[in-house]
C-alpha cells in the first residue's frame, strides 16, 4: 500500500484504535505524529515502536475539543515533517447514561470531542493540504453508532451521525483540491476504552454473541485505514467502510439460533 514516506497525523493515537492506525501506517512506510491528551507515557511508547520500524515519530499533546490546540497539532506536524499528507480523525469520548439521567457536562464533552474535535481536525488539515498545493487523504473514524440508535449512548450516537455527514460534505468540497475524505466504521473493538463500560467477563460474553464470534483488534482497523489512506485508493472519496464482524447485520444471537 502506497504510503511510503508520507506524513500523517493521527488523533487519540496513544492507545486503542488510534494506536493501531499509527503503527500500521508506520509499518507501511509512513511517518506519524502521535496525539494524546492524558497518556504521555503511552504516546512515547507508540513513538518508540514507530522509530524501531525505521520511521519518524512526533509526540504531540492536545485536546481535540479545543480548536486552537487542533490547529497547533496540524501546524507542528507540518513543520516537524516538512508537510502533512494525511489526517486520521480518531479521538473520541463517550459516557453511557440514559438521556433523561445524563450528566450534561459529560454529554457536552462527548459532543465536543467526538463531533467538534473531528470537524476541527478535518478543517485544519484540509487548510494545510490546500496551502501545500492540494493532494492528501483524510479518514474519519466513526462508528455504527452513527446509524444504530444504541440506548444510553445518545450523545455519542449524535456525534457520530454528524461527523459522517460532515465527512461526506468535506469530500465534495475538497475534491477539486484532490483531497480525499473517507469514513471508517469499526465495530466492537478490544481497546482499553471498553473497560470503562464493561468487565472482562461482560466483554467475553458479548464478543461470543457477535456473528464473527469475537471482538475486533485495533490493528485490523489500522490495516483498513492504511489501505484507505494509500494512493491505491485514489478513486475513493466520500465512502463509508464497515469492519465490524457482522454486528450491524440484522442477526439473531448465536444463543437464540441454537434454541430454534
Q: Is 89 marked active-site?
A: no
Instruction: Count the neighbouring beta carbons within 10 Å of the beta carbon of residue 64.
Output: 26
Nearest to 157 by CA among 204, 203, 102, 217: 102
How many DSSP H helices and E strands does the chain contain?
9, 7
Q: Is 156 marked active-site?
A: yes
Active site residue: 160, 231, 239, 248, which one? 160
Q: Which residues 6+ apart lie within 8 Å of 245 measured at CB?
A: 187, 188, 210, 211, 212, 213, 214, 215, 216
CA of residue 145 relative to chain centroid, distance: 13
Whether 109 contacts 66, CB under 8 Å: no
**Distance (Å, whole) CA 63 – CA 71:** 11
Active site residue: 143, 235, 248, 253, which one? 143
Q: Is 142 marked active-site?
A: no
Count CA within 13 A, CB hemisphere, residue 39: 19
Active site residue: 156, 196, 217, 230, which one? 156
Q: Per-residue DSSP letters for 38-59?
A: S-HHHHHHHHHHHHHTT--EEE
**Distance (Å, whole) CA 145 – CA 147:** 5
Active site residues: 143, 156, 160
Amino acid at each position: 500500500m502506497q504510503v511510503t514516506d508520507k506524513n500523517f497525523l493521527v488523533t487519540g493515537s496513544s492507545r486503542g484504535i488510534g494506536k493501531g492506525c499509527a503503527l500500521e501506517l508506520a509499518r507501511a512506510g509512513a511517518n506519524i505524529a502521535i496525539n494524546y491528551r492524558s497518556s504521555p507515557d503511552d504516546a512515547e511508547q507508540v513513538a518508540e515502536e514507530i522509530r524501531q520500524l525505521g520511521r519518524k515519530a512526533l509526540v504531540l499533546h492536545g485536546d481535540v475539543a479545543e480548536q486552537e490546540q487542533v490547529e497547533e497539532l496540524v501546524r507542528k506536524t507540518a513543520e516537524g515533517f516538512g508537510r502533512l499528507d494525511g489526517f486520521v480523525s480518531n479521538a473520541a469520548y463517550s459516557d453511557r447514561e440514559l438521556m433523561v439521567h445524563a450528566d450534561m457536562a459529560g454529554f457536552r464533552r462527548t459532543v465536543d470531542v467526538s463531533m467538534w474535535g473531528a470537524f476541527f481536525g478535518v478543517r485544519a488539515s484540509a487548510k494545510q493540504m490546500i496551502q501545500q498545493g492540494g493532494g492528501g487523504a483524510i479518514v474519519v473514524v466513526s462508528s455504527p453508532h452513527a446509524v444504530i440508535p444504541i440506548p444510553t449512548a445518545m450523545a455519542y450516537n449524535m456525534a457520530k451521525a454528524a461527523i459522517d455527514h460532515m465527512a461526506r460534505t468535506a469530500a465534495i468540497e475538497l475534491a477539486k483540491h484532490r483531497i480525499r475524505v473517507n469514513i471508517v466504521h469499526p465495530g466492537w473493538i478490544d481497546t482499553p476504552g471498553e473497560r470503562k463500560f464493561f468487565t472482562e467477563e461482560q466483554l467475553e460474553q458479548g464478543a461470543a454473541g457477535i456473528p464473527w464470534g469475537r471482538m475486533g483488534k485495533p490493528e485490523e482497523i489500522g490495516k483498513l485505514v492504511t489501505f484507505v489512506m494509500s494512493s491505491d485508493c485514489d478513486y475513493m472519496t466520500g465512502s463509508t467502510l464497515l469492519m465490524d464482524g457482522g454486528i450491524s447485520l440484522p442477526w439473531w444471537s448465536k444463543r437464540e439460533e441454537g434454541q430454534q
